[in-house]
Structure 1
């Protein structure tokens, strides 16, 4: 799977994930080694499990940082865009591997490490990459891995930490998936990999049948476009405007 993930990274920075245990070859988690934690990473499982009553909450900190960099005082805007960014990263890595290699990486929340101070391609680290068992239901594996394994707990953690609409966040999850599809589909078509381009469309269409995503927008397979039914609030960023898939257009 390490080689597969290196191949997937060629699609673009959002499809890349750092692999390997670290400089010492230890297990990637101890404070005494040079694994992810020593470099400011933490398992996403820890992020999702953080007590929302904590004065310092990583989701809230990340939302405030994003809002500050974008020049808006609204924490909900930062929370929305931070959620969408991480969702796009997770969808891209998993969908890319499923399409290009026919395997879904094991991205359990305690295996994927995240550094909120970094951006793609350096923010995610999978120390010991491996694949889920072979399956004829790649869409089901993708839904279990990304949707149930990450976006459901991330949605809960974000809502607990920040004043942001739950429906908006699910719209962001759908928009992030559609964005990953567009980049991957364009990359495949440009290289004559028509079978993989069709696979990307098929898997994404099946993912949009999942109950949590089915009401988030409309995917047009003809021109590989998506129109969402909610707004990510980017228009509230100074000079932000409306996104290409925005319901307000």
Structure 2
């Protein structure tokens, strides 16, 4: 199936999988938004008005955390989940992926998903693991990791763990949708792609996969958010420093 200008095949998947495009005539408003290329380039410098820094501040305020590195970790994981979902969903449904170059993606950090990311040109690429690695890991996650580590002191291992968790989550949700809708072909393509992606050295060490289940080897720090706990794939079974009685109660 060829990519269509609005990536309509992704819409039934909902949530993280949908990517808005400017094909519907939203150009002027979207053109004022920063690109992800600009975001990555200026984040580490501490320049004012950076989109990721604004996103980190928004998350810190919403979750009432005074630790910027916690908000930075969660912001990165959310963006990684969006990018992996769009790329994996497109590859599994279309057999092709849109070019997701940082210069083609504009980001409205104040908008809820899926309206926060806009693709300004739909350019089809092969839907294989090598392309997904180039499109997401190399083009986005590597420069973002470098910038977040420099600005917020977030550990590289944690950020790669977030990337692995985001990929595993996207694969799990796509598999669930595909099987619920009788699309075993989509489920099989998704599983094969996820297996090949996790063979990459930067992702292979992030956790252990059993089918669509994933147990990561690091923690995203969500437990440090007031009222937070451990995620379903966390390396911890309970928040560090808590007693078994407190965790169960």
Q: TM-score, normalised by structure 2?
A: 0.89
* 2:215 and 2:235 in contact (8 A); partners too: yes
**Higher helix fraction (1 or 2):** 2
Counterpart in the other structure of 1:85: 78
Q: Give the whole-Å Cα distance in 2 for the aligned partners of 1:174 and 1:63.
A: 20
* Equivalence map 1:199-218=2 (5 Å): 199-218=189-208
* Equivalence map 1:212-227=2 (5 Å): 212-221=202-211, 224-227=212-215
Q: Find the partner of 1:20 among 12, 22, 26.
A: 22
Counterpart in the other structure of 2:222: 234
Q: Give the whole-Å Cα distance in 1 for the aligned partners of 2:10 and 2:47.
A: 38
Counterpart in the other structure of 1:154: 144
Shift of 1:60: 2.7
* Equivalence map 1:186-197=2 (5 Å): 186-197=176-187
Cα deviation, 1:128-179, whole Å, max 9, x if unaligned, reads: 21211x46xx011101100001111111121122121111000000000011
Q: Give the whole-Å Cα distance in 2 for the aligned partners of 1:229 and 1:146.
A: 21
Cα deviation, 1:40-94, whole Å, max 9, x if unaligned, reads: x211111111162335243333212211110111111100000000000000001
Q: Give the whole-Å Cα distance in 2 for the aligned partners of 1:20 and 1:58.
A: 20
CA 51–68 in structure 1, closer or farther in 2 if over 3 Å, else same: closer
CA 4–141 in structure 1, closer or farther in 2 if over 3 Å, else same: farther
Following TM superposition, where does structure 1 have runs of at least 4 consecutive aligned residues deviating by more than 3 angstroms?
21-24
Shift of 1:6: 1.2
- Say whether 1:116 aligns with 2:106: no
CA 55–105 in structure 1, closer or farther in 2 if over 3 Å, else same: closer
Q: Find the partner of 1:170 among 160, 163, 167.
A: 160
Shift of 1:3: 5.1
Cα deviation, 1:186-211, whole Å, max 9, x if unaligned, reads: 00000111121011111011101111
Q: Give the whole-Å Cα distance in 2 for the aligned partners of 1:55 and 1:15.
A: 31
* 1:22 and 1:35 in contact (8 A); partners too: no
Q: Give the whole-Å Cα distance in 2 for the aligned partners of 1:179 and 1:163.
A: 25
Q: What RMSD in Å do the two structures reach over aligned CA positions?
A: 1.7
- Say whether 1:46 aligns with 2:38: yes
In structure 2, stretches of 5+ residues that fail to align are: 238-249
Q: What count of residue pairs does the alignment treat as equivalent? A: 234
Query: Relative to structure 2, which stretch is displaced further, 148-157 or 1-10?
Result: 1-10
* 2:5 and 2:122 in contact (8 A); partners too: no
In structure 1, stretches of 5+ residues that fail to align are: 29-33
- Say whether 1:8 aligns with 2:10: yes
Q: TM-score, normalised by structure 1?
A: 0.89
* 1:59 and 1:158 in contact (8 A); partners too: no
SS of structure 1 residue aligned to 2:96: coil
